[in-house]
Amino acid sequence: MKIHLPYAGLLLTLALAPWIIPIIGDPFWLSVLTEIIIWSCFAASINFLFGYVGLLSFGQALFFGFGMYGVGIGISSFQLPFWPAFFLGPFSATVMALITGIFAVRLTWHYFAIITVVFSLIFYFLALTLKSITGGDDGINFSLPDLFNFMGYTVSLTNTTTQYFFTLGVVVLCFWLIKIVMSSPYGRCLIAIRDNDVRASLIGINVYKLRLSAFVIAGFLAGVSGALFALFGRYASASYMFYHVSGEGVVWAIVGGVGTLLGPAIGTGVFILIREVVSSHWQHHALIVGAFAICIVIFAPEGIVGLWKKYSKRGPK
């Protein structure tokens, strides 16, 4: 089995982060890193559709919200233990993605983008209306059940380090799933559809079914990130179902590099780090974020990862 040194180095660094961060800085940054990892999974769901299938979705916030509410309602209303509540989040998002995708993937280009926004808005306003269930903009708060409880020994995500490793493990599995999928014949069919859907259909590929399946996978990934974020903040809110959340994810994916495995993670990390560093000194940090995004789009349209690959291939002169 081929070992990719950049991936191995990144995983090793992330695994040692809970011990490295307190040495070089404030332990608070471990929580920031946890948040980056969660949002990386969300950006990866957008990249899966846009980078590998050619469908730009502005509705991933809908599935992120379903993932959040699956966990939040499962714990607060149904009193579910940790694992059933956690799986309820991605399951709810996947079912919603299947229902939405049946209609959405019949369209392409800006029509697809518009219909995903419409679905997101419909359920956003519905979540605001059903305040008795969803809490609306105020959201619902809940206490975390134990991750494990065996013979008096408990493990809980209330511990920052435990939460970090749980989040890291789940998201690494999601990225591994993406890599496996895109390395398979199924993944190559998705690439063929992205490059030319007419030619793909002429050689016998069922474009509609494959797009629908990819849409469901992307919804599942967004649901996982939503479930993790609900556990991270002990909170679920309709505000995270609004399309501006999807817009941020699109920017993260594009700046990092669409069609690459680690592009969404790198783009997410860069923007959240800029936000955290600049916001502590200047309240208009969004201007810096926007200017950086514009520069990347203009001067490096292939994203940060694409730019790195371009210059690394040149080698030393």
Amino acid at 310: K
254 in Cβ contact with 49 (< 8 Å): no
Label residue 236 by pLDDT band (50, 70, 90). Answer: very high
Rounded distance, CA 165 to CA 183, Å?
Answer: 27
Label residue 170 by pLDDT band (50, 70, 90). Answer: very high
| Percent of the chain's residues with pLDDT above 70 | 96
Label residue 5 by pLDDT band (50, 70, 90). Answer: low
Structural domain contains residue 314: no
Query: Quick check: 246 pLDDT over 60?
Result: yes
Structural domain contains residue 189: yes
For 187-222, the pLDDT digits (tens) are 999 999 999 988 999 998 999 999 999 999 999 999
pLDDT at 314: 62
For 50-61, the pLDDT digits (tens) are 999 999 999 999
* Alpha helices, DSSP H, located in the chain: 5-24, 28-52, 60-76, 82-104, 109-129, 131-134, 160-183, 185-195, 197-202, 207-233, 243-256, 263-279, 285-299, 303-314
Structural domain contains residue 215: yes
Query: Quick check: 316 pLDDT over 50?
Result: no
Highest mean pLDDT among 5-19, 148-162, 251-265: 251-265
Least confident of 57-61, 86-90, 91-95, 294-298: 294-298
pLDDT at 186: 94
Which residue reads 């690394």 in tokens? 312
Number of domains the chain contains: 1
pLDDT at 288: 83
Query: Quick check: 289 pLDDT over 90?
Result: no
CA angle 258/263/264 to nearest 5° reads 85
pLDDT at 1: 43
Structural domain contains residue 22: no
What is the helix (H) or strand (E) element at residue 153, kind and residue range?
A: strand 153-155
**Whether the model pTM is above 0.75:** yes
Structural domain contains residue 284: no
Query: Quick check: 317 pLDDT over 50?
Result: no
Structural domain contains residue 66: yes
pLDDT at 146: 87
Query: Quick check: 45 pLDDT over 60?
Result: yes
pLDDT at 299: 84
Query: Quick check: 249 pLDDT over 50?
Result: yes
Query: Quick check: 313 pLDDT over 80?
Result: no
Structural domain contains residue 54: yes
At 245, list the tokens. 């959340």
Mean pLDDT calculated for residue range 162-177: 95
pLDDT at 212: 95
Give the domain extent around 157: 29-242
Query: Quick check: 285 pLDDT over 70?
Result: yes
Rounded distance, CA 31 to CA 143, Å?
Answer: 18
Structural domain contains residue 69: yes
